[in-house]
Chain A
Amino acid sequence: MNKTEKALREIQAMDELAAMDSPIHRLAPLAKLLVTVAYIFVTVSFSKYDMTGLLIMILYPVAGYQFSLIPVYTCFYKLRIVLPLVCAVGIFNPFFDRGIVMTLGTISVSGGVISMLTLLMKGVFCLMASFLLVATTSIEEICHALRQFHVPRILTSLLLLTWRYVSLLLEQVSIMTQSYHLRAPGQKGIHVSAWGSFLGQLILRSMDRAAALYESMELRGFHGDFYYAGQKKMTAASWMYMVVWIGLFILMRAYNLPQILGSLFV
């Protein structure tokens, strides 16, 4: 299976997840979008040595996945993209920051190790939160929420239209790649002699397709804006979801809750 086929499958899987029904799916997209943004903002704002304080932030994605009936491990596949760069940046911390900040029995833990782990945790948590948003909200709903947020119409329309065309063109590229490799067995990629023509041909056809697409859109009454039918409104539950979570995030950020919890027992 080539890269394009994998991407197609990922798109399909995301669409299926967003089409599910659960208490989280039923919430207004704007509430979910704002909670996700607030979560990521608060998570990355933790100090790089505040590993214990940061840990409590895991509760939002964990609770979210359970209430939306989505298994947590579904998002771990995406970590393959996030973790390499985060690791590449964080891996040097233990070498440069050797100040001992904690001793566990005979083991001394340096500030660099703590900051590296904190960085990794932030990477994983933020990914879990963004994945939760797109797994419970369709692209139409996200675009609608963005419009409510006064994001320019051209951007939301472009996002929506591009999303529709991504799967089509991925399929096209997948077919082209497969047929190329069948004709040129043993080649790893596209040979230098076909560098230009391979995608160039697709560009020519795609531009024609765009013209036909515009005509058909116009025939269906398109006047520069998409209409979002049957949108979920900001219900009392959505307001409560938003206010409670954002309030909790502020609380989690202002107080080191694991520390307080631990001091009850120690």
Chain B
Amino acid sequence: MHMADALLAPAVASTMYVASGSAAGVSIVNLRKEEATLKEDLKVKLPAMAVMSALVFAGQMVNYTIPGTGSSGHLCGGMMLTGVLGPYAGFLSMIVILAIQCLFFADGGLMALGANVWNMAFYGCFVGYFLIYRPIMQGKLFSAKGGSASVTKSAMRMKIVLASVLGCVLTLQLGALSVVLETSLSGVTELPFGGFLVLMQPIHLAIGLIEGLITAAVLVFVYEARPQLLRDVDTSGEVKGKCSLKTTFVILALVVAVIGGGVSLLASQNPDGLEWSLFGNADGGYSENMGLDEEAYGISSNLADSAASVQEKTAFLPDYAFSQDAENPMGTTVSGLVGSTIVAAFAILTCFIGGYFRKRKLAS
């Protein structure tokens, strides 16, 4: 889901940077508040955040075999960090993981970092925690009838599984939706919005389910071994739970089916309206954003004029908005091609000359 720089227009990338930057600011402020109320020094938390980020980074490279299929899945980083560090520290850790992936592994672009942080870290940490993880963990789900808030170990396990799977499915669906929105708004693809959505959402539904189960397995293990490491986990009480693992999975399957069904309904019913509004807006925003005056941009020469008139005759201009840019003859004239060839030849020559001097330096 890591987006490359080429997939985003500068306006969209900048907006996403502002959005993610604001979320990071809120996280830092809240971490300081936590520091004051919980008397938990941020300096103490820093190494834990760093080690957990490094661990999630390395852990995402482990392949987990999915039973019954030949394929493998990975860990869901956002939910894992949220479960152990909380939403604010988890969000900052995810930013760092994404920055390292982008800088050193070319996984996602430098300018697309804001969008990637939003698509993966914001949904994973904030939406995943506040809408899914915390309500489930603090709720009375699976606890015995008339019992107090205290729950048994087995009920807690069910909650962790439910929270992880639902959290991963929802956050990945939102992330995939954002990728589609950002790419379409940037105007880099001609793929209709609805079609793109139908391609992305079901794939991420399956990925979310698997990632959720793997994350759940790891968190349950941590809960069994050292429950105090996890957020919002109640370790008191010995009341017997009433829910089995089987019931949990039936509930999960139903919820996933509902979410999946809802998304495909949305994708199939309204593609034209959405497509029209998005592409219309994208087109307006895109040209404004470029800030280019096509008249001043061009150069007047006889050849350019004649080429433009030839193009006017030959070009079939479809009536949808995106192809209006094609009226700009500047990229299509012969001199453009000749100039491009010269630039390419110059670039290749520079490489050869550079290589020659490097070899000489090495030899000496």
Contact = CB atoms under 8 A, between A and B. Distances in A.
B97 A162 contact: yes
B286 to A, nearest CB: 8
Interface in B45-92: 46-55, 57-59, 61-67, 70, 72, 75, 84, 92
Nearest to A177: B62
A251 interface: no
Given A62-B351, A86-B7, A189-B64, A78 B51 contact: no
B153 to A, nearest CB: 14
Contacts of B178: none
A148 to B, nearest CB: 17
B190 interface: yes
Given A81-B106, A190-B63, A204 B222 contact: yes
Contact of A41 (B53, B111, B290): B111
Nearest to A47: B325
Interface stretch (B138-146, B264-272, B309-317): B309-317
A206 B10 contact: no
Name which of B44, B107, B289, B339 has the most chain A CB atoms within 10 A of its CB: B339
A123 B188 CA distance: 12
B105 A122 contact: no
A29 interface: no
B157 to A, nearest CB: 10
Interface residues of A, number: 128
A256 B64 contact: no
Interface residues of B, number: 120
Interface string B151-191: 00000000000000000000000000000000100011111
Contacts of B222: 200, 203-204
Nearest to A137: B103
State the main secondary structure of chain A at its contact with B. Answer: helix
Nearest to A222: B43
A246 interface: no
A9 B97 CA distance: 18
A9 B331 CA distance: 42
B62 A189 contact: yes
Contacts of A119: 6-7, 188
Interface string B173-215: 0000000000100011111100000000000000000000110
Given A11-B104, A55-B344, A130-B106, A257 B64 contact: no
Contacts of B54: 162, 165-166, 168-170, 206
Contact of B58 (A49, A108, A112, A172): A172
Contacts of A166: 54, 57-58, 100
Interface in B309-364: 310-311, 314-318, 322-323, 325-326, 328, 330-340, 342-344, 346-347, 350-351, 353-355, 357-358, 361
A200 to B, nearest CB: 3
A155 B336 contact: no
B333 A195 contact: no
Nearest to A216: B47
Interface of A: 2-4, 7, 10-11, 14, 36-37, 40-41, 43-45, 47-53, 55-56, 58-59, 62-63, 65-67, 69, 71-72, 75, 78-79, 81-82, 85-86, 89-90, 92-93, 95-103, 108, 111-112, 114-115, 119-120, 122-123, 126-127, 130-131, 133-134, 139, 142, 152, 154-155, 157-159, 161-166, 168-170, 172-173, 177, 187-192, 195-204, 206-207, 209-211, 213-214, 217-218, 222-224, 254-263, 265-266
25 contacts: A3-B61, A7-B61, A14-B104, A37-B110, A43-B5, A59-B347, A66-B350, A102-B332, A111-B325, A111-B326, A126-B4, A126-B110, A127-B109, A130-B110, A152-B24, A155-B92, A158-B46, A165-B53, A169-B55, A195-B214, A199-B59, A200-B217, A214-B48, A259-B299, A263-B335
Given A40-B5, A89-B7, A203-B222, 9 more contacts: A41-B10, A159-B96, A170-B58, A173-B58, A195-B213, A195-B218, A257-B343, A263-B301, A266-B334
Q: Top 3 nearest A-B pairs by Cβ distance?
A: A262-B339, A200-B221, A258-B339
Interface of B: 2-10, 13, 24-25, 28, 31, 42-44, 46-55, 57-59, 61-67, 70, 72, 75, 84, 92-93, 95-97, 99-100, 102-107, 109-111, 183, 187-192, 213-214, 217-222, 225-226, 229, 289-290, 292, 297-299, 301, 303-304, 310-311, 314-318, 322-323, 325-326, 328, 330-340, 342-344, 346-347, 350-351, 353-355, 357-358, 361
